[in-house]
Each structure stands twice: as C-alpha cells, then as structure tokens.
Amino acid sequence: MLALDLKGKRALVTGANSGIGEATALMLADAGADVVVNYLERAETAESVSAAIRAKGSRSFAVHADISDATQVSSMMARMAQEWGGIDILVNNAGIDGHSALGWEADVGAWRKVINVNLFGAFLCSREALRRMVAQRAGVIVNLSSVHEMITWGGFSAYTASKAAVSMLTKTLAQEAAPHGVRVIALAPGAVKTPINRNVWGDAAGLADLKRKIPMGRLAEPEEIARMVAVLASDFASYATGTTLFVDGGMTDFADFAHGG
C-alpha cells in the first residue's frame, strides 16, 4: 500500500498559527515535509506550531507577513529560498470573513479588506511561488476556498465574491502552469470547528441550525480538512489540477431537499 510521503518537500502554509492552517502545517510535517509557518498575529502561537513541527523531525520556522502586501510576501518567499533553496508546496489558507453587512450598507474599506486578504493574498503568494515552481518545473499550490464559492451567504458579499474569485484564479493559474509541471488546485471546506466561527458552534441554537444544513449532521474537525490538503499536495493527486474539491459533509448537496422538493 502506498504511503503519503512528502519527505524532502518544502512547504509554506499561510495563516498557519490556528485552525485549518495549523492543522495543515502539522499534517504536512507528519508526512515528512518541511514547513514554513506564516502568521500575521500571535507570534507566540506561530512559534509553538513551528516547534511542534521540528519535534516531528522536520525543519520549520515561523515568519510574520501580511499576505495582502506584495513587498512582505516577496520578502517571505525570498527568506524561504535563501534558507531552503525554494518551495515545492504552497497552501494559501489565510483568510477572513469580515463583518456582516447587507450589500447596500457595507463599508467600502471593510469590503475591500476581505478581497485584499482572500483574493489578492492568494494571488500574491501564488505569483511568488509560481516564479520558482515554473523554473524548477515542479510544485503544487493548494488554495483554500469555501463552500461559499458556490453557496450565497447573506451579509457576507465580500467573502463570497472573494471565494468565487479564488476558484477562477485557481483554474486560470492551473491552465497556465500545467505545461511547466505545476499543479494548482482548490479545496473548499464547509463548516469547520475553528476559532473563526466559534460564535456559531459555541451557541446551542446556532450549532443546531448549522447542523441542519449538513447532511452528515456535524461540523468537520480541522484535521479532516488538513488530511485532504496533504493528499492534494502529494503525488496521490498527481493528475488533479484546475478544479475545486468540496470537503463539506454534503453541505453543497442541499440538505433541505433530502425529503423532496
């Protein structure tokens, strides 16, 4: 039986100091990869994740960078290249959902911030990674999208727009990079038990409402998403590119229609 083996691979996970990002960084290390832990806030947590990766026998360091800032992204990638000689796996995980507001009441600055992080952040990191991956004719980029690239979400038009855009960014970059031996793919989680949505799963009524929208009747654990990221980044998925894999407990399967229309 084949084993998931990422030994010798150099990975960068954005937003890797909590939630899905942290779980992914640790999962990639379990498979043998060296992992850079990117973070924006809570440096001590990022250093703790990096230390846990080193304890597994992989190389790791934490690096502060705002992924929506092209200069900071360039510096982060340059440091990785200087210390490790390049990059093989990029996981664009960092993202924000913003504040709830109807479209006609939304603050333009707040709306733009979500786009800057979720879309421009993924683009800027991918641009720097692809410059290196194309040159070495190998590499994988996994973009964390969301079920909301497909499902609307009232009050969060910036988030849904950003995730729909990440889907098309993934497809386009995949088309461009495929002839150079590089894969670009997206993974769309559904409801995951992470700090970003604690206000929902931490409330009994909110949790019950959310579970009704999921055919499997539960939220995912971050590790369940991380395992799929590791698979997509590995040779198990060597012929997969330019698409989105939904890992959502069936949320996009329209649970309300389970008993007919």
Rounded alpha-carbon distances, angstroms, from residue 35 to 148, 152, 199, 219, 258: 28, 34, 30, 27, 42
By the 8 A CB rule, do 174 and 183 touch? yes
Query: Could you tell me the pLDDT band of residue 261, with boundaries at 50, 70 and 90?
Result: low
* CATH classification code of 10-193+222-251: 3.40.50.720
Model's pTM, two decimal places?
A: 0.95
pLDDT at 80 over 70: yes
Cα distance between residue 89 and residue 106, in whole Å: 36
Bridge partners, 189 (sequence order): 247
Chain segment 207-222, per-residue pLDDT in tens: 898 899 999 999 999 9
Annotated catalytic residues are 159
pLDDT of residue 199: 75
Give me the percent of the chain exceeding a pLDDT of 90: 90
In this predicted structure, the answer to whether residue 1 has a pLDDT above a threshold of 60 is no
* Least confident segment among 52-61, 117-126, 193-202, 216-225: 193-202
Whether pLDDT at 197 is above 80:
no
- What is the C-alpha separation between 261 and 25, in angstroms, rounded? 42
Using CA atoms, how far apart are residues 14 and 36, in angstroms rounded to an integer? 8
CA 231 to chain centre: 14
